[in-house]
């Protein structure tokens, strides 16, 4: 079971929005004009829960399609319960737009600082998926791609050590811009960064890709752990990783359609 010791943070006062908006009304409320994007963001939250990547904690965001300096993220709540009306818009200082005063995820700075430093990133998932966490704890073993579905990991996932920025008495949470920037620096140009004793953050060029990557990061960690029980795993070469990732990007709609139906009851 995933465990997190964070409490939601209330943000600046202002106008509230109802949480039962339709996708179209919610898209208008956050200024995207794109109800399909809102629907995909809601589905992403549900899928990640249904696939065991998140439980009551963790979050997924998408870059705002109409503003280069903003992103969309649900209010602070369990991902499996997110609806269209729960989506909020934030600027790159992680401040809610339009005076939305609902409680926001404390670690929204993970998202804001990655979007600030990585123009290529269009979606972000932060989770505490259990099979990934050991690879951020044990310094002698790196998370590396061991199957073709996880070539996006590249040579190996970097590890963010929060002590290097926050010292040795933090609560392990990325709760401000300084820590968010340090995490983004550890991520670098990679698709996955592990967070020692905490979890991981995965990035992608869109919601569907980042969900695919978050799920197969967890799958790869489980497979690598199992392989290490038998011996020394053979990992993908850089060329194998790059080419398999490209192939999977062209076919990931098959997985998305399956996961969405399982999580949402539709196609």
Q: What are phi and psi of 23, to 5 degrees?
A: -60, -40
pLDDT of residue 217 exceeding 90: yes
Tell me if 18 is assigned to some domain. Answer: no
pLDDT of residue 169 exceeding 90: yes
**Residue 149 sits in which domain range?**
23-261
Q: How far apart are CA 150 and CA 142, in angstroms?
A: 14
pLDDT at 125: 99
Tell me if 115 is assigned to some domain. Answer: yes
Tell me if 77 is assigned to some domain. Answer: yes
What's the pTM value of the predicted model, to 2 decimals? Answer: 0.90
Q: How far apart are CA 242 and CA 239, in angstroms?
A: 5
Among 137, 107, 128, 126, residue whose Cα is nearest residue 197: 137
Tell me if 17 is assigned to some domain. Answer: no
User: Could you give the residue numbers annotated as active site?
Assistant: 107
Name the band, by pLDDT with cuts 50, 70 and 90, for residue 155.
very high
Mean pLDDT on 108-115: 98
pLDDT at 59: 98
| DSSP 8-state class, residue 86 | G
pLDDT at 14: 39
Mean pLDDT on 235-259: 98
**Cβ partners under 8 Å of residue 172, min gap 6:** 162, 195, 197, 198
pLDDT at 18: 47
Tell me if 151 is assigned to some domain. Answer: yes
**Cβ partners under 8 Å of residue 160, min gap 6:** 136, 182, 183, 186, 187, 193, 194, 195, 196
Name the band, by pLDDT with cuts 50, 70 and 90, for residue 13.
very low
Angstrom CA distances, 56 to 50, 65, 81, 237, stand at 11, 27, 9, 36
Tell me if 253 is assigned to some domain. Answer: yes
Among 212, 54, 188, 38, residue whose Cα is nearest residue 132: 54
pLDDT at 150: 98
pLDDT at 1: 39
SS percent in the chain: helix, strand, coil, step 5: 45, 15, 45
Tell me if 3 is assigned to some domain. Answer: no
Q: How far apart are CA 114 and CA 71, in angstroms?
A: 11
Residue 175 CB-half CA count within 13 A: 13
Number of domains in the chain: 1
pLDDT at 3: 38
Tell me if 5 is assigned to some domain. Answer: no
pLDDT at 30: 78
pLDDT at 27: 67
Higher-pLDDT residue of 160, 1: 160
pLDDT of residue 9 exceeding 50: no
Beta-bridge partner residues of 61: 73, 124
Mean pLDDT on 179-200: 98
pLDDT at 73: 98
CATH of the domain at 51: 3.40.225.10
């Amino acid at each position: 079971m995933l465990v997190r010791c964070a409490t939601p943070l209330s943000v600046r006062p202002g106008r509230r929005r109802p949480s039962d908006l339709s996708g179209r009304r919610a898209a208008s409320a956050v200024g995207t004009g794109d109800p399909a994007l809102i629907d995909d963001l809601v589905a992403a939250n549900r899928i990640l829960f249904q696939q065991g990547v998140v439980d009551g904690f963790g979050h997924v965001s998408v870059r705002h399609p109409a503003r280069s300096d903003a992103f969309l993220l649900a209010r602070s709540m369990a991902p499996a319960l997110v609806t269209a009306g729960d989506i909020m818009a934030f600027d790159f200082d992680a401040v809610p737009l339009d005076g939305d005063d609902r409680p926001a995820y404390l670690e929204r700075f993970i998202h804001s600082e990655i979007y600030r430093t990585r123009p290529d990133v269009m979606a972000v998932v932060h989770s505490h998926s259990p099979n990934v966490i050991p690879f951020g704890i044990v310094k002698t073993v790196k998370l590396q791609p061991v199957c073709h579905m996880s070539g996006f990991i590249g040579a190996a996932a970097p590890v963010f050590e929060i002590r290097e920025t926050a010292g040795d008495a933090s609560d392990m949470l990325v709760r401000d811009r300084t820590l968010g920037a340090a995490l983004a620096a550890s991520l670098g140009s990679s698709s996955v960064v592990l967070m020692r004793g905490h979890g991981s953050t995965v990035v992608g060029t869109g919601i569907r890709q980042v969900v695919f990557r978050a799920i197969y990061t967890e799958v790869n960690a489980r497979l690598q752990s199992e392989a290490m029980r038998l011996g020394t795993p053979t990992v993908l070469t850089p060329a194998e990783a790059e080419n398999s990732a490209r192939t999977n990007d062209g076919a990931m709609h098959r997985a998305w359609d399956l996961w969405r139906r399982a999580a949402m009851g539709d196609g």
